[in-house]
Structure 1
Amino acid sequence: MKKWMLALGAPLVLAAQPVSAQKDSAEDAQAMATLMEAFAAEPLTPEEEARLPLAETVVAKMLPPGSMKKVMDSTFGGLMGPFMDMAAAAGPNLVDHIGYEESELEISEEKVKEVAAIVDPNWQERQKREMALMQSAIGEVMEAMEPAMRKGMSEAYAVTFTDAELTDLNAFFSTETGASFASKSYELANDPRVMGAAMSTLPSMMEQFAAIGEQMKVAMADLPARKTFETLSASEKARLVALTGLSEEDLEIGMEVAAETAAEDGPF
C-alpha cells in the first residue's frame, strides 16, 4: 500500500514545487543518471553468481553492521576533529550575517566577531550545534549506505577471487584472529593514523601538481591560443550567435570571462 501511495503522492509533491526547483531536480536526476552510467559494472557471469553467496559470507565478516558509522564517528573524533576545531576557531562567516565577505570590507577578525555577536549573539552555540548535527547526519548517511556497500563488495569479491580463495578467506575469518582482522579491516583502512599519514603527503602532492602544471604548459606550447571575441571572424561570430542564442554583446562578455577564468585557473 505504501508503494502506490508514494507513487501517487510523488507527482503532487513535484507539482507543488516552483518550476525552477523542478528544473533543478530534473538536472540533478540527469546528472545522477550520468554518474551511475559511468560507474555501471558488467553483470555477473553464471560462475561469479555461483560464488556470490560465499563472497557475501566473507564480506559480512569484513563489514559487519555498524562498521561505516563507527568509522565515521572515529574519523570525526580523530582526523576530522582538528579540522572542526580549526573551523570553530576561525570564527563566524560574515556572509551569513550581513551578506559581505571579510575581504570586501577589509575588517579585522575581532570586528567580524563583534558584527556576528550583534546580529546573532548565539553564533558560537549555533556553529557548535551545526557541527554536531553534521557529524550525526553523516553517520546516518554512512549507515544507510552500508547495505549497498556490502552488496558491491560482495560482487567485487565474487568477480576477483576464485572459489578456493574465497573458501580460504572464509576459513581464516572463522578463526579468532581472522575474525578480529576481518571486523577491523575496514576500520583500519580509515584509521586516523593512516588518514593522517596520507594528509602529511599533501605538500609534496601540491608540488607535484605544480610541476604537472608547468609540464602542461610545455605540452600545449605549440598549440595556437583559443580565439578571443576580437579574433573571431564576422561569420564565426554570426554562427556562434545562431548556435547559442546569445547576442554579440553577451557573447563578447562571456568570452572575456572565460579567458579571465582560464588565466586564473591555469592549465587545469
Structure 2
Amino acid sequence: MKKWILALGAPLALSAQPLWAQDEDTGTEDAEVMAAMMQAFAVEPLSAEEEGRLPLARQVIDKMMPEGSMQKVIDSTFGGILGPFMDLAAQAGPSLADTIGYDESELEVTEEQVKEIASIIDPNWQERQRREMAFVKDAMGEVMAAMEPAMRKGMSEAYAVAFTATELNDLNAFFATPSGSTFAAKSFELANDPRIMSAAMSSMPVMMEQFATMEEKMKAAMADLPERRTYSALSAQEKARLQELTGLSEEDLVFGMEVAVETAAQDTPF
C-alpha cells in the first residue's frame, strides 16, 4: 500500500524532510544537489522591455490561472488519469507483509485468506487504506497550492517574453482578436518554457516544508483508529487460525509480526 503512495509523491519532491532537519552530511549533500538543479534550470533575467510588459502579462495569467487552479489540476488528475489506479489499489486488498511480516509470495495463501489474516490483526484495514488514499489526494493538493504563486510568477515572465504589449492587451480582451491565433501557436511551447520549470524549482523548499508536516497530519488522520493488534493480544482461537491460514509456527508468527510492527513504525507514505 505504502509503495504506491510513495510512487505518487516521489516526483513532487526530492525529500520528505527540510534540509535543516537532516544530519549535517546528508544536508550538505542535498544542498549541493539543490544548488546544481537550480543552476540547471536558471534563466536569463528579463530585459527592460520584457519587464515593461510584465504587468500586462500578469493580467493575462490572472485570467488563465486564477487562484485555486493548481488544486483543480490535482482534482482532475486523481479523478481522471489516476482514478483507475486508485480504484485498483483499493481493490488490491491488504499487504501480508504489513500484518505478519511475510510477503504473499512466501506463503501459500489465497486472496481471501490474506484478507482474513489482515482482519484478525487489523479489523480496520479497509478504513485505514481508504483514509491513506484520501489523505494522499488532499496532501498533493496542499503541495500544489503551495507551488501556485511561483508557477504564476514563472508563467507571467514567460508571457512577458513571448508576447508583445499589443498581443497581451488582445489576450486580456479574452483572445477576441487575431492575436488569439498567435497564442494558440505558442501555447504548447510555453507550457514547457524553462522559466516555468525554474519557478517550480525555486518553490522546492516550500514543497519540502509541506512534506515535513505530512507525517504528523497522517498520524492525526489515524488517531481515532486503534493500533494494529500484536500476537499476544490475539485469542487462542485467533492464533490457531493464523497458524492454519499461513502454515507458520507460533514462533515464526511472533517474529514476523514484530518485524511488521517495527517496519510500520519506520515506514510512512512520504
Where on the TM-score scale, by shorter chain, does this alignment land: which range?
A: 0.5 to 0.7
Q: Distance in 2 between matches of 1:78 and 1:121?
A: 31
Which residue type is aligned with residue 78 of structure 2?
Answer: F
- Work out which of the residue numbers 124, 128, 133 in structure 2 matches 1:126: 128
Q: Which amino acid aligns with 2:143?
A: V
Q: Distance in 1 between matches of 2:143 and 2:38?
A: 18
**Structure 2: distance between partners of 1:164 and 1:24:** 50
1:155 equivalent in structure 2? 157
The aligned amino acid for 2:69 is S
| Secondary structure of residue in 2 paired with 1:100 | coil
Whole-Å Cα distance in 2 between the matches of residues 121 and 37 of structure 1?
Answer: 50
Alignment check: 8 A CA contact 2:97 2:103 kept: yes
- Answer yes or no: is 1:142 the counterpart of 2:160: no
Query: C-alpha separation between the residues in 2 aligned to 1:110 and 1:38?
Result: 51
- The structure whose Rg is larger is 1
Q: Which residue of 2 aligns with 1:59?
A: 61
Number of residue pairs matched by the alignment? 164
- The residue number in structure 1 matching 2:93 is 91
Residues 58 and 173 in structure 1, CA contact (< 8 A), matched pair in contact too: no
* Structure 1 spans left out of the alignment, 5+ residues: 1-12, 179-184, 190-268
- Computed over aligned residues only, the root mean square deviation of the Cα atoms, in angstroms, reads 2.9
For 1:9-88, list aligned pairs within 5 A: 21-88=23-90
Displacement of 1:144 in angstroms is 1.1
Q: CA deviation at 1:165?
A: 1.6
Code of the residue aligned with 2:73 in structure 1: it is V
In 2: Cα distance, 1:61 partner to 1:100 partner = 54
**AA in 1 matched with 2:114:** V
Distance 1:124 1:165, change over 3 A: same
Q: Which amino acid aligns with 1:115?
A: I
**Alignment match of 2:174 (pick from 172, 175, 183):** 172
Give the SS at the match of 1:49.
helix
The normalised TM-score by structure 2 is 0.54
Distance in 2 of aligned mates of 1:35 and 1:155: 20
Corresponding letter in the other structure for 2:96: L
Which letter does structure 2 place at the counterpart of 1:159? V
Task: Give the ranges of 4+ consecutive aligned residues of structure 1 lying more than 6 Å apart after TM superposition.
Answer: none
Contact preservation (8 Å) 2:99, 2:121: yes
Contact 2:170 2:176 in 1 (8 A): no
CA distance in 2, matches of 1:148, 1:160: 18
Shift of the alpha carbon at 1:21? Answer: 3.9
Counterpart amino acid of residue 135 in structure 2 = L
Query: Counterparts of 1:173 and 1:42 in 2: how far apart (Å)?
Result: 28
SS of 1:172 mapped into structure 2 = coil
**1:64 corresponds to which letter in structure 2?**
P
Q: Return the offset for 1:126.
A: 0.4
SS in 2 for 1:43: coil
Runs of 5+ in structure 2 lacking a partner? 1-18, 181-186, 192-270
